Structure 1
Amino acid sequence: MKRKLKLLLLLSLSVFLVIIILKKPKNSIPESIEQEARIALGHFPELNGIPIEFKFKKNIKKSVMQAQPTWSGLLKPKNKRSYVILISEKFKISGEEFKTVDVPKDVLIGWLGHELGHVMDYQQRGNLNLIGFGIRYVLLKEFIKKAERAADSFAVSRGMSEYILKTKRFILDNSEIDETYKTRIKQYYLSPDEIMEMVKELDSIKGNG
């Protein structure tokens, strides 16, 4: 009896995995942020054909947005992966909740661009490396810093510096945004000055090219 149960569970798991692998994900963008998402995606031609779902979530701990590979994507070659970008429905300013979609357009584009920078980073990693990435991100603060700065760098190098800067300034210059969130931004992400320096370096490279 136990053997039959084990075989049944194994068969069920196998069928589940086959369904996940064969299921073809598609791009999905909520209408309320479609324009901003399309603008951000336009800066990442390398992601054309990569299924990305933009999905609202009631609450995301310690963040406003979060990019991650889908479980089915981890079972496929990286050129066939799919991703989801989770977006918190609301965030707090001075204890009051505001809808994320109500932030200035360029700020929202910058936020989305940063998350697409994460997707660019993920796309350069093998499946095992990506799983290790997730584990290190949860356990190591220094790795969080490395990952967030890499996402910023990808977005800036794709011509999104103005959007990223507006997002940073919206957070850091807003006296009513929670100081804990500001501290996290200062600790783990590129500063506005570092972004400007990076832009100068990129312009210099282009000028010499």
Structure 2
Amino acid sequence: MKTKIILLIFITFIITTKGLAQVIVENFVREEAADYNLEYLKSAYGTNKIVPPIYEAQILIALSYFPELKNTRIEFRIKKTRTPLSARPDFFGLFKSAKKRKYYITISKETIPKLKPILLENLSFNAQIGVLGHELSHVSDYSTKGFGKMMNLLRIELLSKDKVDAFESQTDLYCIEHGLGYQLLDWSKSVRENIKLDFWRGANNVANTTKKERYLNPETIQKYIDTIPIYCKE
């Protein structure tokens, strides 16, 4: 009953605020997807989006927390890649204004054995929404940057691991600030539990033991949840 009430509040908030959704839900459940008003979410947030049917519910729910992306062109595609999930702009779109770009969010269907437990298909429904929220946070950030700033990000990715760490941590925080903190927390816990790493530094660093934090640890995410006003319970 409590879950149903939360869902009703969630759906009502979406409708009354014309889609500017930031209602905090601690746990989205796959079996209750029919209660999340997906037809409305599709009409409100599905414009200019290419979405694989298998992940439609998760993607639409995550998109509802990013109203600034309502009209942004995003293609969610499933491919064989080492990295479980990634976001990038279309190459030729880099030469266009930020608002006219198209973005790709790539969902891996096959990777190295070490990373298979954290492919999207192997995560819980709630954690799937969390990691999708992280990638949408990248898109939201990219959509505010012109060509020069995007080239600077590319330079950072190639030349500075420390700055990449800071960039990814900031992206996690951006996701939390958008209202998907509990979902990101589930994803963060899943990664560390399933691949036995205390500090997750990405698909290309699974063999390296380090105490440096790139993606926020569960403890750090929880600290933000405990302090950011939108998560405060009355």
TM superposition score category, shorter chain reference = 0.7 to 0.9
- Cα separation, 1, equivalents of 2:117 and 2:189: 19
Q: Are 1:55 and 2:77 matched, yes or no? A: yes
Q: Are 1:88 and 2:108 matched, yes or no? A: yes
- Cα separation, 2, equivalents of 1:159 and 1:40: 10
2:177 maps to which residue? Answer: 157
3-state SS, counterpart of residue 175 of structure 2: helix
2:6 maps to which residue? Answer: none
3-state SS, counterpart of residue 75 of structure 2: strand
Q: Contact (CA 8 Å) 2:63, 2:136: kept in 1 or not? A: yes
1:206 CA drift (Å):
7.6
1:163 CA drift (Å):
0.4
Q: Quick check: 103-112 or 38-47, which moved more?
A: 103-112
Give 1:16-95 correspondences, 5 Å limit: 26-60=48-82, 63-91=83-111
1:93 CA drift (Å):
5.7
Q: What residue ranges of structure 1 are gaps of 5+ in the alignment?
A: 1-24
Give 1:120-131 correspondences, 5 Å limit: 120-131=140-151
Q: Contact (CA 8 Å) 1:93, 1:178: kept in 2 or not? A: no
Q: Contact (CA 8 Å) 1:90, 1:100: kept in 2 or not? A: no
TM-score (norm 1): 0.75
Q: Deviations over 1:125-165 (max 9, x none)?
A: 22111022012112210121112112111110011001000
Identity of aligned residues (%): 29
1:178 CA drift (Å):
5.8
- Cα separation, 2, equivalents of 1:144 and 1:99: 22
- Cα separation, 2, equivalents of 1:46 and 1:135: 26
Q: Contact (CA 8 Å) 1:40, 1:113: kept in 2 or not? A: yes
Alignment root-mean-square deviation, CA: 2.7
1:198 maps to which residue? Answer: 224
1:21 maps to which residue? Answer: none
2:166 maps to which residue? Answer: 146
Given candidates 210, 215, 229, the residue that maps to 1:189 is: 215
* One-letter amino acid of the structure 1 residue matched with residue 179 of structure 2: G
1:173 maps to which residue? Answer: 193
Report the CA distance shift for 1:80/1:188 in structure 2 as closer, same or farther (over 3 A).
same
2:135 maps to which residue? Answer: 115
Q: What residue ranges of structure 2 are gaps of 5+ in the alignment?
A: 1-46, 203-211
3-state SS, counterpart of residue 216 of structure 2: coil
Moved over 4 A (4+): 91-99, 204-207
Q: Contact (CA 8 Å) 1:91, 1:100: kept in 2 or not? A: no
